[in-house]
Amino acid sequence: MKAFHFRLQTSLDIAERREQMAREEMLALIRQRDNLQLKLERAEGQLKQMEQNIRDSVKENLPLEKLLIIINYVPVIRELIDHISAELQAAEQEVEKARSLLLERVKETRTLTKLREKEWLLYCEECNREEQKLIDEIAITRYYRQKL
């Protein structure tokens, strides 16, 4: 009996590699998105801190120069928050694209794997048939030898 050979093995290997690459790309995009989320949280925390500083400086009668510096810095932080939010939204879209691509790759790999399993089962059945045929021939030969 000849050895098992899956005729689409090269395609399966390529599909598995493409799936792995898509998985790695998606993980990189998720890390990038998470970093942007952290930046956004820090910027929002900074904005809250500045707003609190403004309230405190009004209550404590701090110098006007310090208050003006803080007040002028608030729009810069808000602009930064808007910019990071836009980047985060774009990163979310990229993650979704990568996720859908990964799902396609997984389906492709799964399909080829199922085909390989089916061919393997057919190969095993063929081996079993040939083995049974050989056993039957040996049994028949033995029967006729004993008869003579």
pLDDT in tens, 19-66: 999 999 999 999 999 999 999 999 999 999 888 877 877 677 777 777
Q: Determine the 3-state secondary structure of 21 from DSSP.
A: helix
| Topology classification of domain 9-121 | Helix Hairpins (1.10.287)
What are the sequence ranges of the domains in the chain?
9-121
pLDDT range class, residue 81, cuts 50, 70, 90: very high
> How many residues can be counted in the chain?
148
Query: For 101-136, how does the pLDDT look when each residue is reduced to its tens digit (9 = 90+)?
Result: 999 999 999 999 999 999 999 999 999 999 999 999
* 105 CB-near residues (< 8 Å, 6+ apart): 15, 18, 19, 22, 23
In angstroms, the CA 123 to CA 121 distance is 5
Q: Give the least confident one: 7-11, 68-72, 88-92, 135-139.
A: 68-72
In angstroms, the CA 110 to CA 137 distance is 40
**Sheet strands (E) in 31-109:** none
